[in-house]
Structure 1
Amino acid sequence: MARFSEKVALVTGSSSGIGKATAILLARQGCKVTITGRNTDRLEAVKREILKNGSSENDVLVIPADLIDESEQDKLIEETITEFGQLDILVNSVGGAIMDKEGKTGVMQGMDVFDKNIQLHLRSVVMMTKKAIPHLMKTKGEVVSVSAIGADHHGNPQFLYDSMPKAALNQFTRSAAVELIRHGIRVNSVSPGFVNTGFFMMDFMSSRKECIPYGAVAQPDQIVQVIAFLADRKMSSYIIGQSIVVDGGSSLIMGMEAHDMQELMGL
């Protein structure tokens, strides 16, 4: 029997990047999946790839949606339950870069950038989780959210408004996990570092050990394996409310540690 046979997953942000790779992996391992995003053409391409890997048409549900819109959040949950009869796994992977119209960064960005980041990267995750709870209680299900290492204990001045909701998401993960485990629902998250999802500085980051000690930007599949691990109760049943860092060592490095101290000291 496949790893996720008889399971149903709803994966937000699954038209590209980590969400896409998550939906493909879960489906390949027997899961029925609802895929969603704003780009219909990309969603249909993801569906074709899932079907190519052996899933049937009846095991993939495509629902274009904007997760900032609460009525479309409701639609996602309701149509998943109508189609599949249950929900076992919610993967909150929705996200995207929100740029200031004037090219400003950090604190100088417009408050519209702040508001959009909060709505997309935090509020939508909280709302989707809340709306999934009644169904996940029935299946003793799992919630896995995608956070980022920018949420951790160091400054992220250039992408301040992007990292703030991720920091709040980590607190939501911890607190919701303590509350919901009483109902049999596990809540965890994954904090990726630099991932090959079209980021324009990949070569620069890969070549500098102060950025990525591992020496390479992660591929989405390397993040997805951890998401699948957290979604698999047999493999991770005792992990509650954690945000697992998957960053090739990026969050471990202080600037000075990236250099040869003996060389700097003339030894």
Structure 2
Amino acid sequence: MSFSNKVVIITGAGSGIGAATAISFAKEGANVVIVGRNEQKLEKVKEKCAKSGNGLLVVRADISNEQDAKKIINETIDKFNKLDVLVNNAGIVGQSSILSDNVLSSYDTIMNTNLRAVVHITNLAAPHLIKTKGNIINISSVAGKMTAIAGDVALTYAVSKAALDHFTRFVAAELASHGVRVNSISPGPVSTGLLDNAVASLSMSLEDMERAVPLGRVSEPEEIADLILFLASDKAKAITGSDYVSDNGLLLK
């Protein structure tokens, strides 16, 4: 899958799925815009992407900040004059329960990043994607499709991902006539910092998590990156409004 001369924005690219995706796109010839909050992590990802010799742009930004979101799009267009792919990967988790005193603050914080920010940056990016007949990949989660991990860990996170799934479908329907495809990917457990935090909050070990999954494993970030690249490529030119689950069978339980 060649992405030669394509311009790709990846949010949350400082680590985990985002970092793996940035590196994979760079290897396939893309000009990559690496977005995140931690400048040191972004620089490490940039070094790995730079080995491919393509155009790179690092944007230190918090996507939940409206001015930062505008900066991401403006700097991308200023440098590369176009946008072909938007990967909305940035997201946060947090503990919440409907019985918790902090449920509203948790809801506001998580929805602001996991949904509102995605709506905003998609709105800003869409006119540029229409010009290139590009596409959008939103990184959702199996958490938005199940209740087994609800309660004091994932209530508002799960709600944010369920909402993101439907947002994906609506935007896919609206932009289809413009030749822009919009899809989502719903990973199960992936070996990232987010998983480490989730496992700790559940008082579980990684081995416990692996035993809870039918295939007895958790995914590596590169596996999700492979799926992102497929959906962004011409190999998936007939696919829009779809959600691809990659969860090692977790939803089977």
Q: How far apart, in 1, do the equivalents of 2:109 and 2:141 lie?
A: 17
State the 1:215 CA deviation: 1.1
Match of 1:62 in 2: 58
Q: What are structure 2's unaligned runs of at least 5 residues?
A: 200-205
Match of 1:172 in 2: 167
Residue-pair matches, total: 240
Q: How far apart, in 1, do the equivalents of 2:164 and 2:186 lie?
A: 11
> In the alignment, is residue 189 of structure 1 matched against residue 189 of structure 2?
no
Q: Does the residue aligned with 2:22 lie in a helix, a strand or coil?
A: helix
Greater C-alpha radius of gyration: 1
Match of 1:49 in 2: 48
Q: How far apart, in 1, do the equivalents of 2:25 and 2:124 lie?
A: 22
Match of 2:70 in 1: 74
Match of 1:120 in 2: 113
Q: TM-score, normalised by structure 2?
A: 0.92
Amino acid at match of 1:63: V
Q: CA RMSD in A?
A: 1.2
* Correspondence list, 1:87-236, <5 A: 87-99=83-95, 105-109=96-100, 110=102, 111-155=104-148, 156-157=150-151, 158-198=153-193, 199-200=195-196, 201=199, 202-206=206-210, 208=211, 211-232=212-233, 234-236=234-236
Q: Does the residue aligned with 1:34 lie in a helix, a strand or coil?
A: strand
Match of 1:265 in 2: none
Q: Does the residue aligned with 2:24 lie in a helix, a strand or coil?
A: helix
Q: How far apart, in 2, do the equivalents of 1:62 and 1:108 lie?
A: 41
Match of 2:203 in 1: none
Q: Which has the higher contact order (CA 8 A, sep 6+)?
A: 2
Match of 2:252 in 1: 252
State the 1:153 CA deviation: 4.6
Q: Does the residue aligned with 1:213 lie in a helix, a strand or coil?
A: coil
Q: How far apart, in 1, do the equivalents of 2:213 and 2:116 lie?
A: 30
Match of 2:23 in 1: 24
Q: What are structure 1's unaligned runs of at least 5 residues?
A: 100-104, 254-267
Q: How far apart, in 2, do the equivalents of 1:184 and 1:46 lie?
A: 31
Q: Does the residue aligned with 1:244 lie in a helix, a strand or coil?
A: strand
Match of 1:4 in 2: 3
Q: Deviations over 1:51-110 (max 9, x none)?
A: 13x224xx11001001111111000001000001100000000012334xxxxx422341
Q: How far apart, in 1, do the equivalents of 2:147 and 2:65 lie?
A: 32
Match of 1:238 in 2: 238
Q: TM-score, normalised by structure 1?
A: 0.87
Q: How far apart, in 2, do the equivalents of 1:55 and 1:112 lie?
A: 44
Q: Does the residue aligned with 1:95 lie in a helix, a strand or coil?
A: coil
Amino acid at match of 1:106: S
Q: Does the residue aligned with 2:33 lie in a helix, a strand or coil?
A: strand
